[in-house]
Amino acid sequence: MLSFASRFLGRNLNLVVGAGFLFALLLGIFSTVSGMIHDEPVHSAEHEFHLKPRDAGLQSAGLFGTFDKQQLQRGFQVYKEVCSACHSIRLVSFRDLEQLGYDEGQVKTIATDWQIEQPSVNPETGEPATRKNLPSDRFPLVFANDVAARAANNNAVPPDLSLMTKARDDGSDYVYSLLTGYGPQPAELLKKFPDAKTPAGLHFNRYFATLNLAMAPPLTGTDQVQYQDGTRATVDQMAKDVSAFLTWTAEPNLETRHAAGAAVVIFLLIFTALAFGAYRNIWRDMKH
């Protein structure tokens, strides 16, 4: 009897192991579903008071969205005068700004006058040095490393903004909502969750996942930036403009991609119509 059992297990070991894994998987699924059904829902300040991003209404949104170059230039101005003090856009080159409508001379001036220069090495002494930016250079990092960033920002590291709208759900809308979402904590929140008071050094924002973030409100009031095209720089306008700019930094080929997609759709429609016509022509004399 023992010999028969040994031979059976030897021949069907894979089947036994597979059955064991399947049983464990089904048990895990059952436990998870049972917990979801019977466990009490989690009640927390973040769960109840966190808001989904609002629609920024950008021209680049949608299947056939395009960039408004004037808005992109305004957004770059907001980044330059407000955001660049803390946040880098390390994946963007100065010469890429030509896509925003700046000419070669303007790009060269922007690069040369940028407040942070490129790290370099003195060829004579070998000591660290800096040099003026060139149009071919990428935008220099604001902080040399995370240690310097934390020291200057209450132990928080400001994220690089190059791909921010791709790295967050509802990208452009998220940036817009976050920049306009600062405010005092609702009395209802503090009443329901007394321990959820915003800690010192943090700032309440209902569009941030934890409701509190280290970044102080960067856009503080009307005319904080003097737009060169005469547009009034309200907080809402600046938030939309810099969101549009960061949409471009994350996906500068958006217009090309949308145009290619539209061309493919038109081609498929024409091809489908021709194929259907050919089908009708070939089979029109065939009797069923």
| pLDDT score for 92 | 97
* Residue of 278 and 133 predicted with greater confidence: 133
Question: Domain locations in the chain?
Answer: 46-92+160-255
Mean pLDDT over 78-95 rounds to 97
Q: Is the pLDDT of residue 2 over 60?
A: no
| pLDDT score for 24 | 79
Mean pLDDT, all residues of the chain = 88
Cross-strand partners of 203? 213
CATH class of 46-92+160-255: mainly alpha
| pLDDT score for 106 | 97
Tokens of 141: 């990092």
The whole-angstrom separation of Cα 161 and Cα 82 is 13
Q: Is the pLDDT of residue 198 over 90?
A: yes
Concatenating the DSSP letter of every residue in 216-281 gives --S--STTSS--TT-----HHHHHHHHHHHHHHHH-TTHHHHHHHHHHHHHHHHHHHHHHHHHHHH
The whole-angstrom separation of Cα 158 and Cα 79 is 14
The whole-angstrom separation of Cα 50 and Cα 191 is 16
> Of all residues in the chain, what percent carry a pLDDT higher than 70?
89
| pLDDT score for 5 | 56
Cross-strand partners of 129? 120
pLDDT in tens, 178-189: 999 999 999 999
* Residue of 31 and 228 predicted with greater confidence: 228
Confidence grade of residue 1 (pLDDT, cut at 50, 70, 90) = low
| pLDDT score for 14 | 67
Mean pLDDT over 18-34 rounds to 75
Average the pLDDT over each of 20-34, 114-128, 150-164, 199-213 and give the range with the smallest value.
Answer: 20-34
Average the pLDDT over each of 175-179, 199-203, 273-277, 284-288 and give the range with the smallest value.
Answer: 284-288
